[in-house]
Structure 1
Amino acid sequence: MSRYPQHRFSVAPMMDWTDRHCRFLHRQLSRRALLYTEMVVADGIIHGDRDRLLCFDQIEQPVALQLGGSEPDKLVEAVRIATDYGYDEINLNVGCPSDRVQSGAFGACLMREADLVARCVAAMKTVADVPVTVKCRIGVDEQDPEIVLPGFVRSVVDAGANAVWVHARKAWLEGLSPKENRDIPPLDYDIVYRLKQDYPNLFIGINGGIASLNQVLEHLNHVDGVMLGRAAYHNTSLLADVDRQVYGDDVGVTDWDAVRASMMAHADAHLAAGGRLIHVTRHMIGLFQGVRGARRFRQVLSADAVRPGAGPEVIAAAFDAIDFAGLTEAA
């Protein structure tokens, strides 16, 4: 098994959220975090607009591509196509509980088909020139995670998976919506900790219900990596301290003037290519939670970014509302 980089912290793949503009913002705050794409369906890559689905700014690296699919041949073709785009990792989605994903026979329902997932991983490994990883749940519906999860992980590891990221909840495919599946099934971190004990040489990452960097550090006493989803999106500023707290880098408070300038330049380039300002600014709403001026910051971005002709000056005006002296003192 090839060595998997020590990605101690990552931002989870989130549909409709972790697009290239979101990742560009997150990279302004952390140089070290592993960033994931939204899930991209293998069929979409094979038959759709590849550049739209796969292109990203090199400044976003390290970036992992998350694939959705359950047919080894199609996943092989998708990986072969994606190779030219320079991703740092290819991840197979075995955790999404949405009806749309289930109808395509992939996502969390694959927890019932460990042998098929193993064949998919083995096939992807034949063409991938970067680590191939799996993101899964601890089980689905009536499955017993104590039985299912160890057997599932054994299968994908034997197939060559370089790492396993585990969302520490079951997914209830019958009776719960995707939103409810993010909150209602109880968390079981201990089962993931025990998995790491069983596989001391395998990178095991944990995901689910983690809201702060203090919690991240606690989990890192038991597993190799921690993945944040909604917390990183809705309270984006916490990413500004990841490199120092999680990786031990000697970095100070983020240069928010530089962040503002980068986001304005990024927005300007996107507008010049025919995009809209809201495509960029919608991911910035979660900055500065709890900081004086944050409400006004959100109001400016929400109201002004959608106006005809809105440009990067909206970002400048929003930043002007923030009490950065207070933010510095809090840090």
Structure 2
Amino acid sequence: MPNIMQDKRLSIAPMIDWTTSDYRFFARLFNPHTYLYTEMISTGALIHGKTDRHLRFDASEHPLVLQLGGADIAEMTHCTELAQTRGFAEVNINVGCPSDRVQHNKIGACLMAEPETVATLVKHMQAAVSIPVTVKHRIGIDHFDSYEFMHNFVETVAAAGCERFIVHARTAWLQGLSPKQNREIPPLRYEDVYRLKQDFPSLAIEINGGITTVAEIETHLQHVDGVMIGRAAYQNPYIMAEAMSLWGEAAPSREAILERLMPYLQEQVAKGEPLPTIARHFLGLFQGLPGARKWRQALSGKQSLTIAEIEDAATQTLAFIAQQDAYQDSLEAQS
């Protein structure tokens, strides 16, 4: 199996309420090479909230990127310095989130209309640290959806020192569509992202949006420097194990993943962390396989949950899958 990932990157997108430290530990078990992102964390939450809680991570999560939401130079710079001190590999500026809440605070996709503001942020943040400062953005916002609009944005921000751009290949509609609709309704324009790489060959350009299979990842990597997977990696995390083929390596088994997960769960329970909250991140482990529904039912919708119950559900699910595989093999042998 050839390694096609030389100078390429595969990452899991920042997703609010989803890419917590517990999920990131779980995600790392599938693939040691992927870049992981925190949820988008506002500068206000970091400076005035539970800083240690927001910035906690297990060492195994590396390489790990902190995604920041904000537009105040001093606050963004301070939080970038915090990120470097705490050991993050990169800091990413959110210029893609379309929700009303973040627009009100000049966070997210609305900043695409202010490339000079983003450039100023990059300049000051990058000057304060040695780790990279990157930008995740859309291909446009509202009626400012031409390729030239995005080209100007990237050109302006790159001139301030940003060398990596992660592009969600959809326009964000800041009025009239919910964040969920903004992930689904605006059409994907992958060609615009490919063109961006052609126009800026010295920049690292990653593509994001609607990518759900390893075959699709391979196709995109022929045109750009990286692929970012969003909800597909959460709902069916084993896609990241299947993506090990891109590095010419074998995928770990689900049994091996569960075996490595249990000590972590024991540590978290010992710290007083609620197991039902942690376990919600594991519901997609058997996605697409027989027994997946029973696995989800065993882990979800419960006020209390024990490690023994998770182990029992895993044993039953794996046994059921093995039984179904054996039955299918016998049918094929008879045909």
TM more than 0.5: yes
Distance between the aligned counterparts of 2:109 and 2:281, measured in 1?
Answer: 26
User: Could you tell me whether the CA contact under 8 Å between 2:291 and 2:321 is conserved in 1?
Assistant: no
Q: Does 1:240 align with 2:241?
A: yes
Counterpart AA for 2:265: A
Identical aligned residues as a percent: 44
1:312 to 307, 316, 321: 307
User: Could you tell me whether the CA contact under 8 Å between 1:67 and 1:90 is conserved in 2?
Assistant: yes
User: Could you tell me whether the CA contact under 8 Å between 2:20 and 2:38 is conserved in 1?
Assistant: yes
| Equivalent residue, structure 2, for 1:131 | 132
Counterpart AA for 1:13: P
Distance between the aligned counterparts of 2:312 and 2:161, measured in 1?
Answer: 50
Q: Deviations over 1:74-131 (max 9, x none)?
A: 1001111221211111100000001111111110000100000000011110112211
Distance between the aligned counterparts of 2:97 and 2:325, measured in 1?
Answer: 36
**Cα shift at 1:7:** 4.8
Q: Does 1:184 align with 2:185?
A: yes
Counterpart AA for 1:157: A
Q: CA RMSD in A?
A: 1.8
| Equivalent residue, structure 1, for 2:87 | 86
Residues 39 and 7 of structure 1, relative CA distance in 2, 3 Å threshold:
farther
Counterpart AA for 2:299: L
Counterpart AA for 2:123: A
User: Could you tell me whether the CA contact under 8 Å between 2:13 and 2:228 is conserved in 1?
Assistant: yes
Aligned to 1:139, the other structure's residue is in SS state: strand
Distance between the aligned counterparts of 2:308 and 2:85, measured in 1?
Answer: 35
Aligned to 1:205, the other structure's residue is in SS state: strand
Q: What is the 5 A alignment of 1:162-201?
A: 162-201=163-202
**Cα shift at 1:136:** 0.1
**Cα shift at 1:156:** 1.0
Q: What is the 5 A alignment of 1:134-173?
A: 134-173=135-174
Distance between the aligned counterparts of 1:7 and 1:222, measured in 2?
Answer: 11
**Cα shift at 1:162:** 2.2
**Cα shift at 1:324:** 5.0
Distance between the aligned counterparts of 2:223 and 2:82, measured in 1?
Answer: 36
| Equivalent residue, structure 1, for 2:49 | 48
Aligned to 1:165, the other structure's residue is in SS state: strand
| Equivalent residue, structure 2, for 1:206 | 207
Q: What is the 5 A alignment of 1:1-331?
A: 6-244=7-245, 246-248=246-248, 250-251=249-250, 253-303=251-301, 306-308=302-304, 310-320=305-315, 321-322=317-318, 323=320, 325=322
Aligned to 1:100, the other structure's residue is in SS state: helix
Q: Deviations over 1:158-180 (max 9, x none)?
A: 11112000000000001001010
**Cα shift at 1:238:** 1.0
Residues 162 and 297 of structure 1, relative CA distance in 2, 3 Å threshold:
same
Aligned length: 320
> Which runs of 5 or more structure 1 residues have no equivalent in the other structure?
none
Residues 307 and 42 of structure 1, relative CA distance in 2, 3 Å threshold:
closer
User: Could you tell me whether the CA contact under 8 Å between 1:7 and 1:34 is conserved in 2?
Assistant: no
Flag the structure with larger Rg: 2
Distance between the aligned counterparts of 2:257 and 2:99, measured in 1?
Answer: 34
Aligned to 1:18, the other structure's residue is in SS state: coil
Residues 7 and 51 of structure 1, relative CA distance in 2, 3 Å threshold:
farther
Distance between the aligned counterparts of 1:240 and 1:199, measured in 2?
Answer: 31
> Which runs of 5 or more structure 2 residues have no equivalent in the other structure?
1-5, 330-335
Q: Deviations over 1:275-299 (max 9, x none)?
A: 1112221011111111121111111
Distance between the aligned counterparts of 1:126 and 1:120, measured in 2?
Answer: 10
